[in-house]
């Protein structure tokens, strides 16, 4: 399957970003990163994280492979509310990016790393990350923690994830998830996101995004990081900084330094 570039749905992507599972990461970053730090955000999308960090005084560079998402980001930067923010963005592949500079912190927000579904891709990405880390730099990488109950029940359909009113159009948007398939051997799950757009209570449009995500267990993450020359300084099971343990928490959050 080709990479999901949100060609048809980028303009709707932000509608669900107020959900707690997504929105709590920025405060986690701000509490941890010293003021004025130079940050690289990998998978910056439409700017949810980068804009909020820049408003806190951080110098932010964002990269993403999806041009439609970056177009939305650029539109936001033209808004007077975001005037003067120190943000640079570029279309680049996280497996092979080259920016010609180093950063104090490199962030993979909300499970972006899981868009990579092969070890070759993961190793290439981490090699690029390492070449962009300044002395004393840190990288923050997040993944979901594979839960047996979730994986065993994969295959549900028509899961309503959220319903929002699009302020730009006044239309009601509902996003559903269909859990398409699970390849346990390759450790990949596939899901279909279906956006239904309603006008005057009538379905006006239906848009679909297909997405594959690779998953890793904690012990696999540790091996991968070690192979990349990255050391785990902290491992959390949530943005509340609970310790990562074996009780099948929802998140894996790793703070990495150069080994």
12: closest CA among 200, 190, 142, 162?
A: 162
Q: How many DSSP H helices and E strands does the chain contain?
A: 7, 11
How open is the CA angle 15-17-20, to the nearest 5 degrees?
Answer: 135
Question: Computed from CA positions of residues 168, 174, 180, 182, in that sequence, does the dihedral angle turn out positive or negative?
Answer: positive
What average pLDDT score do residues 106-119 get? Answer: 96
The pLDDT of residue 166: 95
Is 176 within 8 Å of 160 (Cβ atoms)?
Answer: yes
Q: What is the mean pLDDT of residues 112-121?
A: 97
CATH of domain 10-145+217-258: 3.40.50.150
Q: Does position 18 have pLDDT exceeding 90, yes or no?
A: no
Cβ proximity of 158 and 182 under 8 Å: no
pLDDT in tens, 136-193: 999 999 999 998 888 999 999 999 999 999 999 999 999 999 999 999 999 999 999 9
Where are the chain's structural domains? 10-145+217-258, 148-214
Give the model's confidence band at 17: pLDDT under 50 very low, under 70 low, under 90 confident, else very high: confident
1, pLDDT greater than 60: no
pLDDT in tens, 212-245: 999 999 999 999 999 999 999 999 999 999 999 8
CA atoms within 13 A on the CB side of 109: 28
């Amino acid at each position: 399957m080709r990479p999901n570039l949100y060609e048809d749905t980028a303009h709707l992507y932000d509608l669900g970003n107020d959900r707690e599972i997504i929105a709590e990461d920025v405060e986690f970053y701000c509490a941890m990163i010293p003021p004025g730090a130079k940050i690289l955000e990998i998978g910056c999308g439409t700017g949810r994280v980068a804009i909020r960090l820049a408003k806190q005084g951080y110098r932010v560079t964002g990269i993403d492979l999806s041009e439609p998402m970056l177009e939305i980001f650029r539109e936001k930067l033209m808004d007077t509310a975001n005037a003067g923010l120190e943000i640079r963005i570029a279309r680049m592949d996280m497996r092979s990016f080259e920016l010609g500079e180093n950063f104090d912190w490199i962030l993979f927000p909300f499970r972006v790393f899981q868009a990579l579904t092969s070890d070759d891709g993961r190793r290439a990405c981490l090699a690029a990350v390492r070449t962009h880390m300044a002395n004393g730099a840190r990288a923050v990488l997040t993944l979901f923690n594979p839960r047996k109950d979730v994986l065993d029940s994969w295959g549900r359909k028509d899961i309503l994830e959220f319903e929002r009113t699009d302020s730009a159009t006044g239309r009601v948007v509902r996003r559903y998830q269909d859990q398409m398939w699970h390849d346990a051997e390759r450790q990949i799950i596939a899901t279909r996101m279906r956006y239904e757009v309603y006008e005057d209570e009538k379905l006006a449009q239906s848009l679909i995004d297909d997405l594959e995500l690779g998953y890793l267990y904690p012990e696999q993450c540790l091996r991968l990081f070690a192979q990349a020359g990255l050391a785990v300084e902290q491992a959390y099971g949530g943005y509340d900084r609970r310790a990562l343990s074996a009780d099948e928490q929802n998140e894996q959050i790793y703070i990495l330094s150069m080994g």
